[in-house]
Amino acid sequence: MRVSSIIAAALLPASTVWSSPVESEALVARGASKRPNHPIQPFHPGKPFPDSPSRTKTCTVKSNGNGKDDSTNILRAIKTCNNGGHVVFSKGTTYTIGTALDLTFLKHIDLDIQGKLLFTNDTDYWQANAFKQVFQNATTFFQLGGQDVNVYGGGTLDGNGQVWYDLYAKNNLILRPILFGTIGLHGGRIEDLNLRYSPQWYNLVANSTDVVFSDINISGYSSSSNVAKNTDGWDTYRSSNIVIQNSHIDNGDDCVSFKPNSTDIVVQNLMCNGSHGISVGSLGQYKGTVDIVKNIYTYNVTMSNASDGARIKVWPGVSSALSDDLQGGGGSGAVSNITYDGMKLFNVDYAIEITQCYGQKNLTLCNQFPSNLTISDVTIKNFSGTTSKKYDPLVGYLVCSSPTVCSDINISNITVKSPSGTDAFACANIAGIESQVSCRAPK
C-alpha cells in the first residue's frame, strides 16, 4: 500500500456498526455507557474495519472493596457476558486487580470501564506471573485479545507505577509489566480511557489487526528521584491496520513506536509531552531475524519537551549494548513507505533523527559494521517550531551507516529553528540530502 492509497482511503466511511438507539437506551438504563463514535479521520489505513454488532445483555462487576482482589469477580462477569454482552465497571468504584488475567478468549463483547482498575503493587507476584511477551522481555498485567472487543467508558487503569520506578532504580533487570496488553485482538476499539502510572510501556499492541485507539489520555510520573523510564505510549509489534488518534500523552519514552513487523498504521492528532518522539524502531536488534516496518502515516502531532520529533532508529550490524537490559544488533529487514506529515515542535532536542547506530556509541565500529536493514521511501514534511539547546546549532541528525542501505529520503517544508536561529542538520550517507536541508558533517 502506497502513501497515496492511505490518503485516498481517508474518504472511506467508517464501517463499524454501533447499537441502535433503542438498544443503547436500554443499556444506559442498566448503567452502561453508550459506545463512543469517534470517526477515523482525516486519514485511514485503507482497509475497512469489521462490523461490531449490538450487544444484548449487561453484566455489572461487583467490587469486594477494601483493596481486596476483584479478579475473580471480573473474570466471572466477562465470561458471563462474552459472546454478545456488555460488562460494566461502575463509576466511582475502584476495582483492585492482583491476579494476572488471560482475556484472549473474548468475542463480541464491550468492556465499559467507568470506574478505576488499580493493579496491586506486589512486585514479586507480578514479576513471577505477568504474561511474558516475545519482544524485548516485555510482560503485561493482562492480555486482551479475541474478536470484536470494544473497551471504553471514561474510567482509569492505574498501574501503581511508583513502586516499580523505585525498584527499577535498584535493579534494571526486573520485569516491569505493561499496563495495557492488546495481544491477538482482531477487530476492536479502545477509546475514552485514562491510563496512569504504568511500570513500563503503557500499551503493547502485538499480533493484532483492525484495532482503533482513540481519545486516550496517558500520564504518570515518578514522585521520587527515580525517574519513570521506558514508559512508551504505544508500541506496535507484528500488527497491521491499526489507528492511534486524538490522544494526549505525557510520558518518558517514545510517544508511539513501531516495532518489528508493524504495517499499515495511521497515527494522527496527538499531543505528546516529555517523550522520545514518534519512532520507527528500534529495529534490527536480534541477529537472524528480519524486521519489516512499512506503510506508516503520521499526521498532525504536537511534540513538546522531547528528545525527538520524527525518529527512525536501527541497530548496527554488530552487537551493541545500550544498557544492561537492552542490547542487540545484527538483524536485517527493511523500513519503507513512511510518512511524517505535519508536526509542531516545542523544546525538542532533534526535530528529525535517522540513525543506524542505535545502541552503539562507537561510530567507527558502527561504520565498520553497517546496518543490515534498509531505509527507503521516507517522506518528512511540514514541520515547524523550535529545538532545545542540547544540540544547538543543529536541529536534526540524518546519518546512515552506509549509502547503500538508505535511499529515497525526502524532506521538505521544515521551518524548525534552533535557539541560535540556525536550521542545520548533521548529515551523512544519504544521497541527495544536501539539496533538501542545510547539512553539516556529523562529529
pLDDT at 299: 98
How many whole angstroms separate alpha carbon 302 and alpha carbon 300? Answer: 7
pLDDT digits (tens, 9 = 90+) for 209-242: 999 999 999 999 999 999 999 999 999 999 999 9
pLDDT at 72: 98
Q: 23-27, 317-321, 336-340: which range is least confident on average?
A: 23-27
Local confidence band at 28 (pLDDT 50, 70, 90 cut-offs): low
How many whole angstroms separate alpha carbon 82 and alpha carbon 109? Answer: 6
7-44: buried (b, 16+ CB within 10 Å) or exposed (e) per residue? Answer: bebbeeeeebebbeeeebeebeeeebbebeebebeebb
pLDDT at 382: 98
pLDDT at 161: 98
CB half-sphere exposure, 154, CA atoms < 13 A: 10
Q: Are 341 and 375 in contact (CB under 8 A)?
A: no
Nearest to 19 by CA among 79, 74, 91, 84: 84
In DSSP terms, which residues pair with 206 in a beta bridge? 183, 237
Q: Does residue 4 surpass a pLDDT of 70?
A: no
Q: 9-23, 71-85, 121-135, 148-162: which range is least confident on average?
A: 9-23
Q: 12-16, 59-63, 336-340, 395-399: which range is least confident on average?
A: 12-16
How many whole angstroms separate alpha carbon 441 and alpha carbon 157? Answer: 46
Q: Does residue 1 surpass a pLDDT of 90?
A: no
In the chain, where the domains are located: 3-440
What is the mean pLDDT of the segment spanning 50-72? 97
Active site annotation includes 276: yes
pLDDT digits (tens, 9 = 90+) for 277-332: 999 999 999 999 999 999 999 999 999 999 999 999 998 888 877 777 778 889 99
How many whole angstroms separate alpha carbon 168 and alpha carbon 213? Answer: 29
pLDDT at 134: 86
User: Catalytic residue among 38, 44, 86, 276, which?
Assistant: 276
pLDDT digits (tens, 9 = 90+) for 236-280: 999 999 999 999 999 999 999 999 999 999 999 999 999 999 999
Percent of the chain with pLDDT over 70: 93
Local confidence band at 27 (pLDDT 50, 70, 90 cut-offs): low
CB half-sphere exposure, 145, CA atoms < 13 A: 18
How many whole angstroms separate alpha carbon 397 and alpha carbon 375? Answer: 15
pLDDT digits (tens, 9 = 90+) for 171-217: 999 999 999 999 999 999 999 999 999 999 999 999 999 999 999 99
Amino acid at 252: G
Q: Does residue 10 surpass a pLDDT of 80?
A: no
* Strands 406-417 and 372-387, bridge-based pairing: parallel
Average pLDDT in the chain: 92
Local confidence band at 443 (pLDDT 50, 70, 90 cut-offs): confident
Local confidence band at 6 (pLDDT 50, 70, 90 cut-offs): low
Local confidence band at 362 (pLDDT 50, 70, 90 cut-offs): confident
pLDDT digits (tens, 9 = 90+) for 409-430: 999 999 999 999 999 999 999 9
3-440 has which fold?
A: Pectate Lyase C-like (2.160.20)
Q: Does residue 11 surpass a pLDDT of 80?
A: no
Q: Does residue 21 surpass a pLDDT of 90?
A: no
pLDDT at 31: 86
pLDDT at 5: 47
Burial of 47 (0-12, 13-18, 19+ CB in 10 A): middle
Model pTM? 0.93
Q: Are 347 and 292 in contact (CB under 8 A)?
A: no
pLDDT at 30: 64
The sign of the torsion formed by the CA atoms of 351, 219, 128, 259 equals negative
pLDDT at 26: 55
Contacts of 170 (CB under 8 A, 6+ apart): none
Q: Are 400 and 378 in contact (CB under 8 A)?
A: no
Q: What is the DSSP string of 346-412?
A: EEESEEEEEES-TT---HHHHHHS--EEEEEEEEEEEEEEEE-STTTTEEEEEE-S-TTSEEEEEEE
Collapsing DSSP states into helix, strand and coil, what is residue 276? coil
Q: Does residue 17 surpass a pLDDT of 50?
A: no
Cis peptide before 48 (omega within 30 of 0): no
Radius of gyration in angstroms for the set of CA atoms belonging to the chain, rounded to a whole number: 22
Local confidence band at 19 (pLDDT 50, 70, 90 cut-offs): very low
The sign of the torsion formed by the CA atoms of 128, 132, 138, 144 equals negative
Nearest to 293 by CA among 237, 335, 353, 244: 335
Local confidence band at 127 (pLDDT 50, 70, 90 cut-offs): very high
What is the mean pLDDT of the segment spanning 364-368? 79
DSSP state of 45: -
Q: How do the residues of the chain divide into helix, strand and coil, expressed in percent and rounded to 5?
A: 10, 50, 40
Residue with cell 502513501: 3
How many whole angstroms separate alpha carbon 335 and alpha carbon 396? Answer: 19
